């Protein structure tokens, strides 16, 4: 079985994308599909490189039984566009920037399109409060649940980029 590789991307890799990484890993593991996925996250900027996720992201994940405290922020690398089957950006501005950096990559999608089928942005909770982090968690959990169902079912026949599952 080929592992499906997913990269979640937000601005600084401390709020949304580490939550998405932790949630997807948790859901896949609970479903017995932990080996079906390679999951990572990155930020467009390197402002927080090497740092832990935001304390509020850690607390939100922990309140739901998910430990993301071992993650460290990193900046997206040019090779990520080739190394990951699917790159899911948290908001449309992230998609635009990713496509600017890799105009020929066909694996870049908006999380709200690919995982939620709503086209919505996952809002950045950085300047918000606990409720904002909970809202982001709920949207990410819903989308990640769909991803595990959708991609886990095809992981045995996965042939690479997203065109084979869309």
Crossing angle of the two packed helices 130-154 and 55-63, in degrees rounded to 10: 60
pLDDT tens digits, one per residue of 103-149: 999 999 999 999 999 999 999 999 999 999 999 999 999 999 999 99
35 phi and psi, to 5 degrees?
Answer: -80, -10
Regarding the domain delimited by 8-154, which CATH topology (the fold level of the hierarchy) does it fall under?
Rossmann fold (3.40.50)
Amino acid 153: pLDDT: 65
Per-domain boundaries in the chain: 8-154
84 phi and psi, to 5 degrees?
Answer: -115, 140
Active site residues: 10, 16, 124
Given a contact cutoff of 8 angstroms between Cβ atoms, the answer to whether 82 and 104 are in contact is no
Distance of alpha carbon 155 from its chain centroid, rounded? Answer: 18
Amino acid 99: pLDDT: 98
């Amino acid at each position: 079985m080929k592992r499906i590789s997913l990269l979640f991307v937000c601005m600084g890799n401390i709020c949304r994308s580490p939550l998405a990484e932790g949630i997807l890993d948790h859901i896949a593991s609970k479903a017995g599909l932990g080996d079906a996925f390679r999951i990572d996250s990155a930020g467009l900027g390197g402002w927080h490189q090497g740092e832990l996720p935001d304390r509020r992201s850690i607390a939100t994940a922990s309140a739901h039984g998910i430990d993301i405290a071992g993650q460290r922020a990193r900046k997206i690398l040019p090779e990520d566009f080739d190394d990951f089957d699917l790159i899911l950006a948290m908001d449309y501005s992230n998609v635009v920037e990713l496509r600017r950096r890799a105009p020929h990559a066909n694996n870049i999608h908006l999380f709200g399109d690919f995982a939620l089928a709503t086209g919505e942005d996952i809002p950045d909770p950085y300047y918000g409060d606990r409720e904002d982090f909970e809202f982001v968690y709920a949207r990410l959990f819903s989308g990640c649940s769909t991803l595990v169902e959708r991609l886990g079912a095809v992981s045995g026949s996965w042939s690479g980029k997203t065109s084979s599952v869309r």
